[in-house]
Amino acid sequence: MREHFAALSDAATRTGAAAPKISQWGRHLAAVLDGGGRLLACGNGGSAAEAQHLTGELVGRFRRERTPFSAIALHADTSALTAIGNDYGENELFARQVRAHGRRGDVLVSLSTSGTSANVVAAAKAAQDLGVTTWALTGPSPNPLAALCDDAIPVEAASTATVQEVHLALVHTLCACVDEALGVPT
């Protein structure tokens, strides 16, 4: 247990250097959402849970009451997901939904502990083709997802669990930065 907490503390400390970047993302996302744009988010497994956590905080609230925003976790529509997987294959699971829901100026947050998930990389590519801003939360870099996206925060940790735990902290920090940019009281 001590090893796990030590690894988590080390990864969180190193990732703390991304604070200016996450603050910038929060200001940008606040402007997009406040202007009627939308956030799309995707990931597989635990990263899907973190993506849905992010969208839930934006559609609901993070700490205080505010306007609900358009935020879609692309893995959450099981009927669309299974139809797309059946008809187009697993690499198109998220990309096809990005093409359906994404509009120029929207934001896609892609989460992948490996940074190599083909369906997440395909979603980022589809988003870029549409003019959607692409951000990635990944595990150690370099990786294809971080290299493809407009911006990325790689978490340098050996354990998938540690990467996902730091991703959750980044999700909460992003939500706090969005609220701050919108003037929502803390």
Percent of the chain with pLDDT over 90: 98
Residue 158: is it exposed, middle or buried by C-beta count within 10 angstroms (0-12/13-18/19+)? exposed
> CA-to-CA distance for 26 and 23, rounded, in angstroms?
5
| Mean pLDDT of the region 111-132 | 98
Q: Is pLDDT of 185 > 90?
A: no
Which CATH topology does 1-182 take? Rossmann fold (3.40.50)
Alpha helices in 94-157 (DSSP H): 95-101, 118-130, 144-148
pLDDT of residue 24: 98
> CA-to-CA distance for 17 and 157, rounded, in angstroms?
15
73 has which bridge partners? 41
Q: With bands split at pLDDT 50, 70 and 90, how would you rate the model's confidence at 186?
A: confident
Helix (H) or strand (E) holding 109: strand 107-112
Q: Is 134 in contact with 148 (CB distance < 8 Å)?
A: yes
> CA-to-CA distance for 142 and 19, rounded, in angstroms?
20
| Mean pLDDT of the region 52-80 | 96
Q: Could you state, in order of their start, the residue ranges of all structural domains in the chain?
A: 1-182
Instruction: Name 98's Cβ contacts closer than 8 Å, sequence gap at least 6.
Output: 40, 42, 74, 108, 123, 126, 127, 130, 132
Structure token pair of residue 126: 């589809």
| Mean pLDDT of the region 170-174 | 98
